[in-house]
Structure 1
Amino acid sequence: MNIKKHIPNSITLLNLFCGCIAMVLVSEKDFEMAFYMVCLGIFFDFFDGFFARLFKVSGPLGLQLDSLADMVTSGVVPGYIMYFLLTNSQHEISSNPWMPFLGFIITLGSCYRLAVFNLDTRQTNSFIGLPTPANALFILSLPLVLKYSDSLFVLEFLTNQWVLLAITLFSASILNAEIPLFSLKIKKFNLKDNALQIVFLFLSFFLLIFFQYLGIPLIIIGYVLLSVVSNIFKLDEKKNR
């Protein structure tokens, strides 16, 4: 029995397990522990692929398991978070009790992105559209920003139902947008080929130090903006050749 071939899939299942625990924690409104469980799930999500490549046991089963686990941890959980945020928002758009369920548009967008990702051969070394783990961190950080922020503007902004619905639609859209985003994987150990990744990592470090939980959505937004700027420079370089 080849134990090595089961290690990556076992790690993937740990990702799913973390997502299940996060779901329970969200239902108990323990958003902070839910955030950390999703972070742990994303950690496992990174290393299942690492060990699959290391042991040379990559296969279609692992690919499907990975997407199914991500669907819970990075798809259902953020949709559930947005459902709670919309339920407790201060500015009601409608008295319709079904309105908060629109938060699960994030889950639908995540599901579609994961299905496309499995079929899209262009996303081997980079991403097209925001990866579901990054989107999950963005959404799960919002209740923590609300909890720890002293800014009246931030509090009013993130409890406004219009704003939350706009974030929901933006989230589902950016997941599936035809925007190339750079990968954080370092394949060549030199400054030139990894300059963008290094700048992003330093930016992320300072945003977390100075803004704490608020730094997380800023990091995700910064990731998208840096990718867009990088794409523009690459297009200019091609035109000038």
Structure 2
Amino acid sequence: MSRKIVQSNRPVTLLGGGALPEGALERALARAPVLVAADGAAETALRAGHMPQAVIGDMDSLSAAARAKIPQERLHHLGEQDSTDFDKALRSIAAPLVLAVGFTGARLDHELAVYSTLARRGETPCIVIGSHDICLHAAGPIALDLVPGARVSLFPLAPLRVTASGLRWPLENLELAPLGRIGTSNEAVRSQVTIAPTGPGLLVILPADHLDAAISAVAPGPRV
């Protein structure tokens, strides 16, 4: 098991160096007040007036000027090159929830790597926040309280079967696969949508304004 650099009873905002939608960082911090930066994203945090509780990565994009502003004990260098900074950071966090911002909208290869990590690292619930959409990994059954008409897309990163209700096109033990049938552009027709995959690897993609519904689905209970 990977060493947990950040252990928090409160939700964590994980900041990356990709495109950062306007207001996304503040929106995340309002729900997940512990800030962790992946490598050079610490500079974005500092420019926004926030000091990260931890900076995790291979430190190949963190400037000397930023290093000088951050207490040394908050800098955590993980030098191995077999994983991305998102992977390094996510596997190093133990928290009830991680909201990941700044990991979409820039390089496509980096963004695809984020979704791969999201599906592989299921120990901590994580929601990736983009400009238009949010994405979470449904490792098991989830229930989402949505507004009827909300778009619900299911994208498998591994072959699996899914049963889902409350959708315009319900699924009953339907086989999905990355190179086969996928489940994008479905739509909620009831206020609660249930999704039950048979195994790990299913990404659920929702409009960004359904963030609180996604949080309640993957990290139910009080958050402090």
Given the two structures, how large is their TM-score scaled by the length of structure 1? 0.22
Q: Specify which structure has the higher proportion of helix.
A: 1
Q: Specify which structure has the higher proportion of strand.
A: 2
Given the two structures, how large is their TM-score scaled by the length of structure 2? 0.23
